[in-house]
Amino acid sequence: MAEPEEKIEIKEALIEDSKSNTQAVSIPVPYINSYGAISKALERIKTASTPDRFTQDFLSTKLNLKGGSPKPIIPFLKRTGFLNGDGTPTDLYKEFRNDALRAKAAAKAVKKGYSVLYEINEYAHDLNDKDLEGVIVQATGLSSKSSTVRAILGSFKALRSFAQFEDDDMQGDEQSEPRELEKKTDKNKFDKPPKQPLGLKLGYVINLNLPATSDIAVFDAIFKSLREHILE
C-alpha cells in the first residue's frame, strides 16, 4: 500500500535526524527539499484550469512538473490550505487564481501553513533570513546546520514571494498620505488668488484753469486756498 503523501516530508526529516544521531522530531511546518518547485507550481496554477481533484497526474501533465522532486507539492498545498484532504481545491486555491485576490490569498496560506512561526513572531514574513532561520530552529527543535532548516526557509520564502500582508498595505498608506497632502498644499498655493489689502483708498484729479497774469500773489492765493480747503 502506498504511503500517504502527507507523511513524505516528515519521514525525510526523521531519516535525516537519525543519520545525524539527534533525537527525531515531527516537523510542524510544510516544506519541500526542492523548494524551487513551489514557485513553479504556483506560477502554473495561476493559468491552469482548476481541477476537480489535484492529483499527481494533474501535477505532471497539466503543470508539467514531472519526476520525484515535485511530488511533495501536493501535501505542501494541503498543509497551506490550497487543497482539502481529498485533493479538491479550496476557496483559497480559487482566490489565488484571481489576479486581484492572489496576494492576499498567498498571505493567508503563509500564515496557515507556518502558524507555529507566527506564534513566535507575528511578523515572521518581515524577518531577514538569519532571524527567520532562528525562529525556524526554535519552532522545530532542529539544528541550525540541518538541511531541513534550509528547506523550510526556502519553502517559506517561495510562498511568501506571492504574498502581500496587511502591514504592507498600512506602510503603503502611510507613505502615500504625506505625498497626497503635499500635492494638495502645492495645488492650493496656485489656486488661491493673491491677497488684497484691506481698507478703502480714493484718488482724485484736480484741473486748474489759471488766469493769464504775471502777478505772483495771485498764484500764492490760489495754492494756499487748495492746501487749506482740499489737500488737507
Confidence at residue 207, expressed as pLDDT on a 0 to 100 scale:
67
pLDDT of 66 above 80: yes
- Between 58 and 201, residue with greater pLDDT: 58
Q: How confident is the model at residue 182 (pLDDT cuts 50, 70, 90)?
A: low
Which ranges in 20-128 belong to alpha helices (H)? 36-45, 56-61, 73-79, 91-96, 102-113, 115-120
Q: How many helices, marked H, and strands, marked E, lie in the chain?
A: 11, 0
Confidence at residue 21, expressed as pLDDT on a 0 to 100 scale:
38
Confidence at residue 196, expressed as pLDDT on a 0 to 100 scale:
58
Q: How confident is the model at residue 26 (pLDDT cuts 50, 70, 90)?
A: confident
Q: How confident is the model at residue 167 (pLDDT cuts 50, 70, 90)?
A: low
> How many beta carbons lie within 10 A of that of residue 152, not counting itself?
30
pLDDT in tens, 117-150: 999 999 999 999 999 999 999 999 999 999 999 9
pTM over 0.95: no
- Buried-state track 105-129, b at ≥16 Cβ within 10 A, e below 16: bbbbbbbebbebbbeebeebbebee
Q: Which of the residue ranges 45-54, 79-88, 177-186 would you say has the lowest mean pLDDT?
A: 177-186
